[in-house]
Amino acid sequence: MKILMIGATGKFAGLVLPQLKKQAHHVTALVQDGNKGQQAITHGADEFVTGDLYDPVTLKKAAEGIDGIFHIIPAFNREVEAGLNMVIAAQEAGVSKFVSPASITLPCPYPTMRKSGQRKRHFTTLAWITPFYSLPCICRCCSKAGRPPKIAAKL
Amino acid sequence: MYMQMLQQSWQAAKDSGEIVMPYSKDSKMAYVDYREVAEAAALAMTDKRLSYGTFELASPGMFSRVDLAELMSKKLGKMIVAKDMPVDEWAKQVKIPPGELREGLITMNKEYDQYGFSGGNSLILDTILGRPSRTVQQFIDELQ
């Protein structure tokens, strides 16, 4: 498969790259600049493409001709925006697989309100592998309340 | 929590005999070896068993910092002590500029302090990998 990978030079996500190569996938690393791209090549990526998770135009171009995407979202940095930009680009490009391990980076879709009126962030449990749009919340409060899966943000 | 984060605690244990984090030493945390998350993610590209699924990937058990100190003490052959650092004190020391990242980390550590970090159990990861997932004890035993 032709895989577009986010985080190929990262401390944790970088561990995914050898696993993808072990299964003989062709891996294109999405990176912010050429220097990172060269690092990705050194780590085992077949090629790189420059893009920005907050720039949908670059993601649309990067997703062309891709079969599967490994996506990881920068923690505490406009997470929903970065996630949805990639999901939309993948959908428009007809990508068949979207794999996204997440730990603390996806906010609960059922935020509660504090007395101050501020939204309280809930954290979910360990890694998820999600298909398109299916972001069920499995955090403690939702499990306890028996809340059903819910789309984290409306497209 | 990723087991790879224990490498920093391991180094601190060897250097100072203490492991310190900005949440309660009694908070129980679930762990997973990110190499196994990586393996599961790569499998998910082609393994149809994993299509349209959402999975908790965790190793067996939950561990407090006191538990980790005990495991590290056995491995190192010397007493390792788990200590607390108040989140507010940590926030004063850490060099992260004001913004979403800083506020997020403070909120996260307060959550850990109060509730720990539950991650289910290892049934799903064991099933996906087709073998028992790596335990915290095994990970610590491999540290040098």
Tell whether the model's pLDDT for residue A78 goes beyond 90: no
- 8 Å CB contact of B42 and A127: no
Six-digit token pair at B102?
Answer: 């800083």
Q: Which residue of A has its CA nearest to B42?
A: A20
Dihedrals φ, ψ of B38, to 5°?
-60, -40
The ipTM value here is 0.87
Q: Is A130 on the interface with B (CB under 8 A)?
A: yes
The answer to whether the predicted template modeling score (pTM) of the entire model surpasses 0.95 is: no
Percent above pLDDT 90 for chain B: 67
pLDDT of residue A143: 53
Euclidean distance between CA atoms B110 and B67, whole angstroms: 20
Q: What is the largest CA-CA distance in chain A?
A: 53
Which residues contact residue B100 at a Cβ distance below 8 angstroms, ignoring those fewer than 6 apart?
Answer: A76, A77, A78
Percent above pLDDT 90 for chain A: 45
| Cβ B105 vs Cβ B111: under 8 Å | no
Residues 109-128 of B with CB under 8 A from A: 111, 115, 117-120
Nearest to B32 among A11, A123, A127 (CB): A127
Q: Is A11 on the interface with B (CB under 8 A)?
A: yes
Which residues contact residue B90 at a Cβ distance below 8 angstroms, ignoring those fewer than 6 apart?
Answer: B22, B109
Instruction: Identify residue A149 by its one-letter amino acid code.
Output: P
- 8 Å CB contact of B57 and A78: no
Q: Is A76 on the interface with B (CB under 8 A)?
A: yes
pLDDT of residue A152: 38
Residue pairs between chains A and B whose CB atoms are closer than 8 Å = 106
- 8 Å CB contact of A125 and B30: yes
pLDDT of residue B38: 94
Euclidean distance between CA atoms B104 and B100, whole angstroms: 6
pLDDT of residue A133: 34
Identify the helix (H) or strand (E) that includes residue B111: helix B100-115
- 8 Å CB contact of B45 and A76: no
Q: Is A106 on the interface with B (CB under 8 A)?
A: no
pLDDT of residue A141: 55
- 8 Å CB contact of A20 and B50: no
Angle at B62 between CA B58 and CA B63, to 5 degrees: 125
Angle at A26 between CA A23 and CA A27, to 5 degrees: 100
Q: Tell me the pLDDT of chain A averaged across its residues.
A: 76
- 8 Å CB contact of A77 and B101: yes
Q: What is the mean pLDDT of residues A48-52?
A: 97
Kindly list the distances between the CA atom of residue A33 and the CA atoms of A66, B5, B67, in Å, as whole numbers in the listed order: 20, 27, 42
